Chain A
Amino acid sequence: MPDTSDERGKEEPRLDRRELLKKAAVGAAAVGVSGGAAPFSFAGPHKYKGRWLKGDLSIIQWVHFVPAYDDWFDNTWVKTWGQTNDVQVKVEHINNTLLDTRAAAEVAAQSGHDLFMAIHPMASLEDQVINHAPVVQEIEAKVGKYGPLGRASTYNPKTKKYFAVSDSYVPDPVIWRHDLWNGIGEAPYTWDHVAKAAPKLKQLGHPIGIGQSQELDSNMALIAFLMCFGGFIQNADNHPTINSKHTVEAVKFMVDLYKNGEDSVIFGWKPASNNNYLYSGTASMILNAISATRTPESLGLPFSKDLWIWPIPSGPHGRLGLEHVMGCYSIWKFAQNKQNAQQFLADLCINYKQATLASQLYNFPSFPGAFSFDQIRKAAAADTHPPKGKYTILTTIAEKYTHNIGYPGTTNAAIDEIFSKYLIPQMFAQVSQGKLSAAESVRDTMSAAKNIYAKWRARGKI
């Protein structure tokens, strides 16, 4: 077959030195570009450049009370951390009331998320989690000492184990309607002031809103209230001490406050109920975190400028408050990606300034070195919502009046059980509803508490 092509007619292009250099440069550039892009182009398991950790990371945590925090956490922090560490992070949010149920289910199944966030220390699940001491040490090496509140809430001195790491806590101020209180010439400086003002406020259609229900906010408010009267669930050695004359006096005081200045709706409340009571324009005072002021600000409610923030009113024993929410992350022993979970947790706590700002000063870092009180105070002073500067008091509340559940002892498994079973709100509600006398109710609570302490002591946890 004859060759019909004109190949021979073509001249081979000459490859001179200049052409060779040009082609080499283009080739090198192409190899460089494609090489650099390789981790992205050929994603496979290597999703990001620089793979430091292996596997994935699954996190479950609450739906934050300040929606902006979740936006930051999911879309900024998690994404950036995932890219930096080449880890596929999956975050799931559930309502705070369902976290305990979910934890129980994961423990029962011995399977679940790598990082589990609770809003109170889950001391009773200590055997199910790793010792988080290395995480705490890594954070301390970067930002300084663990705050006393975080340590008292997540460290078991008996077993010498960190059963969680607290990233943050939330100060629990009293939020009150200045316009209404001013109208009757009062302010909630002490509990006596509250008791004096409550009947007048109720008469005006604006009762006090402190719950006596089986839910988080009632628990926090009533335990703090007890402490202001010298009633403590346990002492510094973690022995139950609830049955005291101070507790009985506190119960009687609260029952009077309910009868004269509250409404029976408080017996059926959920964690958001006191907030909604305030937003509806009904409540004149609640004990809650600043989500209760942030929401009216964002919704532009007419009285948002009249919402004032103060420390908990002072009682006969002083001004002793609790954290409102204790952010506690735990890593299950059965978690699939423990290393990633530890690194994520450490990095989050080290960089907590971003988180505090994203939460609009709702979350305070449990490692104070991550974002100092002075810095937080400056950020609070810059907040423009009227009355201007109202959030600066939060740092004082955090520094001076915020304690752990179980104060003056540590948050232990018995405290966790008493807290989770809502024994304290029950103790108050039984008397307010006329079912028991104050002394009887306190005695019953002590009896239940003793059994709980005996159980956990037998298990070597206290």
Chain B
Amino acid sequence: MTSGWRHKAFSYGVVVPFAIVLAFPFLWMAVTSFKPEAQVYDPTKVWTFHPTLASYGFLFHHTGYLRWLRNSSFVGLMVVLITLAVALPAGYALARLSGRVGRSLGVAIFLTYLVPPTLLFLPLSRVISRLHLEDRLWALILVYPSFTIPFAVWLLMGFFKTIPQELEDAALIDGCSRLGSLVRIVFPISIPGILTVVIFTFSLVVNEFVYAITFISSSTNRTLTVGVPTDLIRGDLFNWPGIMAAILIPSIPLALVYNAFLNRFIAGFTGGAFR
């Protein structure tokens, strides 16, 4: 009993301060989003709080916020689909079929993920221009897989390796084709890995800034990462309540999704670590 109490006290002693530290930015974000703009800047009113929905009203009625959200979601979903379509077979092939060459190739593919967008945006500008995709969301849908696919392939490769080869062998003996075993046996077991790829790819895309600011210029085609700093920072005047509201809104569903799939997410990420 005493030992259990101690264990609990220790757990909460560690978790509670940690949770407070992590939750504080969200609390600050929420509180600021409900403050009038002048109050945020006024040093004499740091601890004064007169809640208002003005910044939310501004966001929805005077900016293209909903459009930015829609653009980000559209680009995110398309890139997730492309990434899965390429990374699933590639990851499987590298994990199962290529032996030592596959491992080296996997590492090489992952290394391309490390090339920063700040170097790549110049040559890619020319590609986008040649394809006449300037200022179109398809430019981003074309470019983003260049960094999501290497990461996803590397992650899935590690995950597929944790799946016992015997399961597939059994399916093949039972008359299943290689593709059939992949679809019926491997993919269903790989759901945590696939979910991890989906969540991570979506997060990477939604957070991306350099390509989005380079290839998209009109306000109507902006994604969230570009729309918020461009339209809510007017020169030296940061519309803090608006910025906080703009960030808070998408954070809530993302946080819920992360929480809902937390266990699978962890399993997916650590899947390849034990092999």
A-side interface residues toward B, CB under 8 Å?
60, 62-67, 70, 90, 92-96, 98, 101-102, 104-106, 108-113, 271-272, 275-276, 279-282, 291-292, 295-296, 299-302
A15 smallest CB distance to B (angstroms): 57
Assuming A105-B122, A109-B126, A279-B41, is B236 touching A94 (CB within 8 A)? Answer: no
B188: Cβ under 8 A from any A Cβ: no
| A109–B128 touching, CB < 8 Å | yes
Q: Which residues of A contact B238 (CB under 8 A)?
A: 272, 276
| A280–B237 touching, CB < 8 Å | no
Contact of A295 among B43, B230, B236 (CB under 8 A): B236
Question: Could you list 23 A-B pairs, sorted by A, with CB under 8 Å?
Answer: A64-B234, A66-B235, A67-B235, A92-B217, A92-B219, A95-B233, A101-B121, A101-B213, A102-B213, A102-B214, A108-B123, A108-B126, A109-B125, A110-B129, A111-B129, A272-B235, A272-B236, A272-B237, A276-B236, A280-B41, A295-B41, A299-B37, A299-B41
| B236–A291 touching, CB < 8 Å | yes
Q: Nearest B residue to A280 by beta-carbon distance?
A: B43
A96 smallest CB distance to B (angstroms): 8
| A63–B233 touching, CB < 8 Å | yes
Q: Nearest B residue to A279 by beta-carbon distance?
A: B41
B2: Cβ under 8 A from any A Cβ: no
Assuming A101-B213, A272-B236, is B42 touching A302 (CB within 8 A)? Answer: yes
Q: How long is the Cα–Cα vector from A64 to B235 in the complex, in angstroms? A: 6
Q: How long is the Cα–Cα vector from A113 to B238 in the complex, in angstroms? A: 27
Q: Which residues of B contact A275 (CB under 8 A)?
A: 236
| A104–B213 touching, CB < 8 Å | no
Interface size on B, as a range, is 20 to 34
B48: Cβ under 8 A from any A Cβ: no
| A302–B229 touching, CB < 8 Å | no
With contacts A65-B234, A92-B219, A98-B213 known, what are 14 further pairs, Cβ within 8 A?
Answer: A63-B235, A65-B235, A70-B234, A94-B230, A102-B217, A108-B125, A109-B125, A111-B134, A271-B236, A272-B235, A280-B41, A299-B41, A300-B42, A302-B44
Q: How long is the Cα–Cα vector from A109 to B123 in the complex, in angstroms? A: 8
Assuming A101-B213, A108-B125, is B41 touching A292 (CB within 8 A)? Answer: no
Q: How long is the Cα–Cα vector from A277 to B222 in the complex, in angstroms? A: 30
Q: Nearest A residue to B121 by beta-carbon distance?
A: A105
Q: How long is the Cα–Cα vector from A102 to B209 in the complex, in angstroms? A: 13
| A63–B37 touching, CB < 8 Å | no
Beta-carbon contacts of B123-140 to A below 8 Å, as 1s and 0s?
101101100001000000
Q: Which residues of A contact B129 (CB under 8 A)?
A: 109-111
Contact of A272 among B38, B122, B233 (CB under 8 A): B233
Residue in B41, B121, B213 whose Cβ sees the most chain A Cβ within 10 Å: B41
Q: Which residues of A contact B41 (CB under 8 A)?
A: 279-280, 295-296, 299, 301
| B237–A93 touching, CB < 8 Å | no
B218: Cβ under 8 A from any A Cβ: yes
Contact of B125 among A70, A106, A299, A300 (CB under 8 A): A106
A93 smallest CB distance to B (angstroms): 7
Residue in A108, A112, A282 whose Cβ sees the most chain B Cβ within 10 Å: A108
| A291–B217 touching, CB < 8 Å | no
Q: How long is the Cα–Cα vector from A459 to B111 in the complex, in angstroms? A: 37
Of residues 66 through 117 on chain B, the ones whose CB sits less than 8 Å from some CB of chain A are none
Q: Nearest B residue to A282 by beta-carbon distance?
A: B43
Q: How long is the Cα–Cα vector from A112 to B215 in the complex, in angstroms? A: 10
Q: Nearest B residue to A362 by beta-carbon distance?
A: B235
Q: Which residues of B contact A112 (CB under 8 A)?
A: 134
Contact of B38 among A90, A98, A101, A299 (CB under 8 A): A299
Q: How long is the Cα–Cα vector from A142 to B37 in the complex, in angstroms? A: 43
Q: How long is the Cα–Cα vector from A104 to B210 in the complex, in angstroms? A: 13
A296 smallest CB distance to B (angstroms): 8
| B214–A105 touching, CB < 8 Å | yes
A279 smallest CB distance to B (angstroms): 5
Q: Which residues of B contact A110 (CB under 8 A)?
A: 126, 129
| B43–A281 touching, CB < 8 Å | yes
Residue in B125, B218, B234 whose Cβ sees the most chain A Cβ within 10 Å: B234
